[in-house]
Amino acid sequence: MVSVTESVKKGGASKVVGRWSSRFVWAAIIQGLIATILGIILTTALISPLPDMFVEVFLDVPLIGFVELTALQGFGIYIVVGVIAVGLTAWFYYYFEVVMEKTYSGVANILTWIHLVLMNVGVAAASWMMVYAGFIGDLALFPIDQGGMGMTIDQVAEQILAPFLVPIGAMFLVACIGILAGIIGFIITYFKS
């Protein structure tokens, strides 16, 4: 039988850690690092001269706010699902592997790999596309003399945001398939003797 846990020696004491919980913790740490870098990039734009231009454009056309919401929602989804949910998932695996002493093997092991990869890739790709579309949409609304494309809100919606709908939806579907695989893996492992 394959061991689901590893004993780690630290300071003379032995500690049990779950193989899958460790992988999901590292995925959450990496996603957290990427979210921090993305947050720094986004906030750097806010402390530059750009906010004054944003305010001017918003006052002229209040409907523009939905473009920013695309970027902010993408970033929020990335933080909540890409970082927090992946970290929380590590605790589920820890509970199964260490507390319940259940072994992930065969189909359940494959489903867990699918869970790890598709959930992380799907959420990251979908949320990053939302951030990108919102950011580019914002820039497109600026007048040409201020470095924008001089587009109207309708042009931005049709030419920039709309083409992202299907790819974003597809990546969320990829994430959901990964999550479903993980749930099936949990159920198989739970009812295994």
What pLDDT is stored for residue 141 in this prediction? 84
Compute the average pLDDT of residues 53-66: 59
DSSP three-state, residue 18: strand
One-letter amino acid for residue 14 of the chain: S
Q: Characterize 110-147 residue by residue with b for buried, 16 or more Cβ atoms within 10 angstroms of its Cβ, and e for exposed.
A: ebbbbbbebbbebbbbbbbbbbebbbbbbbbbbeeeee
10: in domain: no
How is residue 71 written in tokens? 């970027």
Average pLDDT of every residue of the chain: 83
Compute the average pLDDT of residues 52-69: 61
What confidence tier does 32 reach under pLDDT thresholds 50, 70, 90? confident
What pLDDT is stored for residue 108 in this prediction? 95
Report how far residue 7's alpha carbon sits from residue 5's, in angstroms, rounded to the nearest whole number. 7
- Domains of the chain: total: 1
What pLDDT is stored for residue 15 in this prediction? 62
150: in domain: yes
What pLDDT is stored for residue 89 in this prediction? 92
3: in domain: no
Query: Which of 7-11, 143-147, 150-154 is the least confident region?
Result: 7-11
Residue keyed to tokens 């004054």: 52
2: in domain: no
50: in domain: yes
CA dihedral 76, 79, 85, 86 (to 10 degrees): 140
What is the model's pTM?
0.75
1: in domain: no
pLDDT of residue 49 exceeding 70, the answer is no
What pLDDT is stored for residue 1 in this prediction? 37
What confidence tier does 166 reach under pLDDT thresholds 50, 70, 90? very high
110: in domain: yes
| Full residue range of the structural domain in which residue 47 is found | 20-191
Compute the average pLDDT of residues 49-78: 68
14: in domain: no
Nearest to 24 by CA among 185, 191, 192: 185
Q: Are 111 and 102 in contact (CB under 8 A)?
A: no
One-letter amino acid for residue 6 of the chain: E
What confidence tier does 107 reach under pLDDT thresholds 50, 70, 90? very high
pLDDT of residue 48 exceeding 60, the answer is yes
pLDDT of residue 3 exceeding 50, the answer is no
Compute the average pLDDT of residues 149-161: 90
What pLDDT is stored for residue 56 in this prediction? 62
What pLDDT is stored for residue 28 in this prediction? 87
How is residue 177 written in tokens? 């398939």
